[in-house]
Structure 1
Amino acid sequence: MSHTRIRGGSLSESTGVHPPLVIWIVSDGKPGHVNQSLGLAEALARATPTEIHTRPALPAWRAWLSLLLKRLPDNTLPKPDLIIGAGHATHMTLLAARHAHGGRAVVLMKPSLPRRGFDLCILPQHDGVAADAHTLVSEGALNRIRPSMTRDSNHGLFLIGGTSPHFEWDSDAVQVQIKSILARTPETHWTLTTSRRTPADFLALLPQHSNLSVVPHTATSPGWLPEQLAQSSTVWVTPDSASMVFEALSAGAEVGVFDLPVNPRSRVGRAIAHLADAQRITRFANWCAHGTLHPNTHPLAEADRCADWILKWPRTR
C-alpha cells in the first residue's frame, strides 16, 4: 500500500537540477512509529519537492529472504532516495529495501541491529547514543506537530497516560493535582483525554468540574490531538507520556508535567528531568510554589532540524 504527495520548495522545480526526492516509509503499523517517520518525511517535503510512499514492513523471515535475493516482493514503487523506518520490526525491511533498490536507510530510534548497518541514524537523546558523522541526536522522538498561531489563552489540555515501566502510576495523586490546577485556573476551560494505558477506573473516580470536559481516548479521531494542541495555550502531561510532552513543546504550548515517582533507571525519566532542568517544562511542585509555567519561547522543531541535516548529504542517484 502506498500514498504519494509532492510538496516543498521551488528551487529544484525552477532549476530542473533534481527530480523530486523519493521517500519510502516502512511501516510496522504502530501509529506512534509511523508518525515519527511521517514527521521527518513531511519536514523534508517542506524543504524540497518530495514523493512520499508507505509500504508495510515484511515479516522477519521474508525480509531476510528479500535481503539475500536482493528483491522485494510486489514492489511497484519508484526507486527511493531515502528509506525511513521507526520500530524494531522495520529494521530488516529497511536493509532489504536498500539492498534491492538503493537509496539510504534512515533509522529512527536506537536500532536492534548494529547502527553501522544503516546509512543515517536519528536517535532521541534518551537513547544514550552519542552523535557522530552518521548519527544525529534529537530532543525526543520526532513528530508531525508544528507551532500553532491559533492558541486560545483560555483553553488548556490534560493528557493522561497510565501504567509504564518508567514511573510509578498513582491515580489518586494525579487526580489531586488535576483538582488543584482546576481550582487555581477558573478562567481556563480544560479538556482531558486518556490513553490506552490509563486505568479503567480513572475517569469514574474523577469528579465533575464546571471548567473540565472529558474526552476518553476511545472517542478521539486521528486528528483530534493535533487540533487540541493547536488550540491550547497550556498543556499538562503525565510524565510517562514522553511523546506527548515533546508534541506539546513542538506545538508551542506552555507545558506542565505531573509529579509521579520515577524509576531511577528509566531513560524516559532522565529525559523528563533534562527538560525540567532546561526549563522547557515545569514540574507540578514548582508550579505550586510559583504559580507560573516556564514560557515556551522557542518551540521544538526537531523534524525540520533533522530534515536539514539529511539534505546536506548528496543524493545517491
Structure 2
Amino acid sequence: MKRIVIVSDGKPGHLNQSLGLAEAIARINPAVQIETLAPLSRSQALKALLFGGPEAPAKADLVIGAGHATHLTLLALKRCWRAPAVVLMKPSLPLSLFDLCLIPEHDAPKPRRNVIATRGALNRMRPGAKVAGSGMILVGGPSKHSGWDEAALISAVERVLAQDSRSWRVTSSRRTPAETEARLAGLPGLEFIPASQTPSGWLPEQLAQTECCWVTADSVSMVYEALSAGCAVGILPVPQLKPNRLQAGLDLLVEAQRVVPLARWQGETLSPDAGPLDEAGRCAKELLARGLLPG
C-alpha cells in the first residue's frame, strides 16, 4: 500500500485540487492510501528542514499540496521522509526545490523539467450519465477581478431561457448578492436553488449528469469543473475590472473552442468536447511515468 499525504491549509479550493490529483492516481493504482495533514508551524518546518524529524505521522511515499501556506511543510516532509514533493500552483519558493510543479497555463510557467502546465486548476470532477435535456446556470458574484451588472446578467439568463428550451436549474455562490438571488428566484421557466441550500457534494453530482452549463465569467474554477464533468459550456459575461490571469485562461478556452461566449452564441445547441477535460488524470499519468510514486 502506497501512502499519499496531502498537506492541506484548510481552504476547500486548495484541498479540492490536491484530492483531484490524489484520487486520479488512486484510479490508476488502487493500492494507494490518501491522508491529509495540516501544515507544520513555520518554526517546526524550518527545524525539520535544518535538522530533520518533524512531529508528523509515519513516512509517506508522496506529499502534495496547494496554497502558499503548504510550501515549507512540503519541503520539510520531502527532506525528512525522502519522499517526492508535488506542488499544485506556481510556488512562492524556487521551483527547483519541488519534484513536480503543476502550474495553470494562465500563470505562464517557463518550460522546465519539473513543470507541467495545466488547463486551469485541477479538480475532482468526473463525468457521469447525462440526463437528456438538462441544463444548469452557475452564477457567481463580484470579486477583486470582476464587477457586477445585475441587469445585464438577468437579461443574459433570460436570453438563454428563451433560446434553449431545455430544463434549466440555476444556482448561486457565496459571492452572489442577495438582490441578484431574488431576481433569479423570480424568473419563470427555471428552478432556482441558492448556494445556501446546496449540501456538500451537491454541485459535483449535478454537473456530472448535466448536458449543458452556462457559467458567469467570474467563476473560472467552475468553468473548468463543468468541462471536466463533460458538460457543453457557455460563458455569461460580467464586467472585468482589469486584465488578469484568470480571464487570460478563459480567453485560451475560447480560442480553443472549448467554451462559447454568449456574444458568439446564436441559439444553437452547445456541444461538449469530444473528450471531457481531464487534467487530473493527465497529470497523474505523467507523475507515475516519471517514477514519483515508486512501485
* TM-score between both structures, scaled by the size of structure 1: 0.87
Report what 1:141 is aligned to: 121
> Is residue 253 of structure 1 aligned with residue 231 of structure 2?
yes
Q: How many residues align?
A: 293
Report what 1:312 is aligned to: 289
| Percent of pairs with identical residues | 46
Q: Distance in 1 between matches of 2:168 and 2:103?
A: 33
Spell out, residue by residue over 1:41-88, the C-alpha distance to the aligned partner (whole angstroms, 9 max, x if none): 011111112111111112333322332331222x233x2221000011
Question: Is the 1:160–1:195 Cα contact (8 Å) retained in structure 2?
Answer: yes
Alignment partner of 2:45 out of 57, 63, 74? 63
Question: Is the 1:281–1:294 Cα contact (8 Å) retained in structure 2?
Answer: no
Alignment of 1:147-158 (within 5 A): 147-148=127-128, 150-158=129-137
Report what 2:68 is aligned to: 88
Question: Is the 2:213–2:234 Cα contact (8 Å) retained in structure 1?
Answer: yes
Q: In structure 2, what residue type is equivalent to 1:234?
A: C
Question: Is the 2:47–2:54 Cα contact (8 Å) retained in structure 1?
Answer: no
Q: In structure 2, what residue type is equivalent to 1:190?
A: W
Alignment of 1:280-291 (within 5 A): 280-287=258-265, 289=266, 291=268
Report what 1:225 is aligned to: 203
Spell out, residue by residue over 1:266-300, the C-alpha distance to the aligned partner (whole angstroms, 9 max, x if none): 0111111111111100001111x353424322211
Report what 1:206 is aligned to: 184
In structure 2, the gaps of 5 or more residues are: none
Q: How far is the alpha carbon of 1:264 from its aligned partner?
A: 4.7
Question: Is the 1:280–1:294 Cα contact (8 Å) retained in structure 2?
Answer: no
Spell out, residue by residue over 1:219-248, the C-alpha distance to the aligned partner (whole angstroms, 9 max, x if none): 112210111101210101011111100110
Q: Distance in 1 between matches of 2:204 and 2:51?
A: 42
Q: How far is the alpha carbon of 1:168 from its aligned partner?
A: 2.5
Alignment of 1:12-91 (within 5 A): 20-48=1-29, 49-73=31-55, 75-77=56-58, 79-91=59-71
Q: Distance in 1 between matches of 2:251 and 2:275?
A: 19
Q: Distance in 2 between matches of 1:60 and 1:202?
A: 42
Report what 1:271 is aligned to: 249
* TM-score between both structures, scaled by the size of structure 2: 0.94
Alignment partner of 2:150 out of 155, 171, 174? 171
Alignment of 1:87-166 (within 5 A): 87-148=67-128, 150-166=129-145
Secondary structure, in 3 states, of the residue corresponding to 1:206? helix
Q: In structure 2, what residue type is equivalent to 1:307?
A: A
Question: Is the 2:217–2:236 Cα contact (8 Å) retained in structure 1?
Answer: yes
Question: Is the 1:26–1:56 Cα contact (8 Å) retained in structure 2?
Answer: yes
Secondary structure, in 3 states, of the residue corresponding to 1:72? coil
Q: In structure 2, what residue type is equivalent to 1:53?
A: E
Secondary structure, in 3 states, of the residue corresponding to 1:153? coil
Q: How far is the alpha carbon of 1:315 from its aligned partner?
A: 4.8
Spell out, residue by residue over 1:113-170, the C-alpha distance to the aligned partner (whole angstroms, 9 max, x if none): 111111110111111112321110111100111122x111221111111112333322
Q: Distance in 1 between matches of 2:172 and 2:46?
A: 39
Q: Distance in 2 between matches of 1:262 and 1:185?
A: 27
In structure 1, the gaps of 5 or more residues are: 1-19
Question: Is the 2:44–2:54 Cα contact (8 Å) retained in structure 1?
Answer: no
Q: 1:51 to 1:316 in 2, by over 3 A?
A: closer
